[in-house]
Amino acid sequence: MTFLTIGHRGVMGVEPENTLRSFLHAERSGMDVIALDVRLSKDGVLVVLHDPDVDRTTDGSGAVADLTLEELRALDAGLGERVPVLDEVLAAVRVPLQVTVHDRAASGALAHLVLRRDLTARVEVASRDDALLAGAARLVPGVRTSLHADPVDGDTGALVARAVAAGAATLALDIRLISLETVEEAHAAGLRVTGRSVDTLDLLRLARALGLDGAATDFPEIRSTGRFTA
């Protein structure tokens, strides 16, 4: 089985997160997948940002939904980088993308983009919202989806049931909260399981020992150390 290394917002441990610079670094480092987040600008463009506002990751302030693309592009997202639009990322890197959506508007826009450009083989839709994943699957038959969730009070069965009900192919969990029981239950249900954020060699060993299918990381070094046998 192939063990996937997923570049979290590119390689945000060493580059400004969710920027073209970070994504290009992730691809050069050999990441198998790049994970990023999208939101809609005021004028309806899919831009690559994690937070609902720009305060933390740029030199600007305000809600993404209240800013036009032109206003967003005028911001410094770190080291002179600009807030990218999703189309730019698709053109800049060749590796598959795991695109996280946080609301219905962005999810719908992403679904239409995937359909229009026939990107089902390249784009996986991720979310913490079960309904958004189920909706994406309805709008784009055959699209791969990933449920990002964490166990509550050790109830692993509920997590697996949620992922199956949402039609997800993958269950993405905090590496520090994953049990072997969870992995076994998920695999028995036909799900892949990935861990986040796997940012140290010890956590990478844990991911291997648990039998995970992949690991999301902030650092490019994990890729170069990821080929050992635990």
CA 170 – CA 192 distance, rounded (Å): 5
Which amino acid, one-letter code, is at 26?
A
What confidence tens digit (pLDDT) does each residue in 160-179 have? 999 999 999 999 999 999 99
Q: What is the pTM of this model?
A: 0.95
Residue at token pair 């997202």: 77
Please report which confidence band the pLDDT of residue 230 belongs to, taking 50, 70 and 90 as the band edges: very low
Q: Do 81 and 119 form a contact (C-beta atoms < 8 A)?
A: no
Across residues 79-89, what is the average pLDDT?
98
User: Phi-psi region for residue 2, left (φ > 0), alpha (ψ -120 to 50) or beta?
Assistant: beta
User: What element of type H or E holds 132?
Assistant: helix 130-139
Burial 151-167 (b: 16+ CB within 10 A, else e): beeeebeebbeebeebb
Residues with Cβ within 8 Å of residue 45, at least 6 apart in sequence:
69, 85
Across residues 79-95, what is the average pLDDT?
98
The correct answer on CATH 3.20.20.190 for the domain covering 4-224 is: yes
Burial class (CB in 10 A: 0-12, 13-18, 19+), 171: buried
pLDDT given for residue 139 in this prediction: 95
pLDDT given for residue 102 in this prediction: 97
Mean model confidence pLDDT for the chain: 94
Strand intervals (E) in 76-169: 97-101, 123-127, 144-148
Across residues 208-214, what is the average pLDDT?
97
pLDDT given for residue 195 in this prediction: 97
- Helix 130-139 to helix 104-117 angle (10° resolution) is 30
Please report which confidence band the pLDDT of residue 154 belongs to, taking 50, 70 and 90 as the band edges: low
Please report which confidence band the pLDDT of residue 151 belongs to, taking 50, 70 and 90 as the band edges: confident
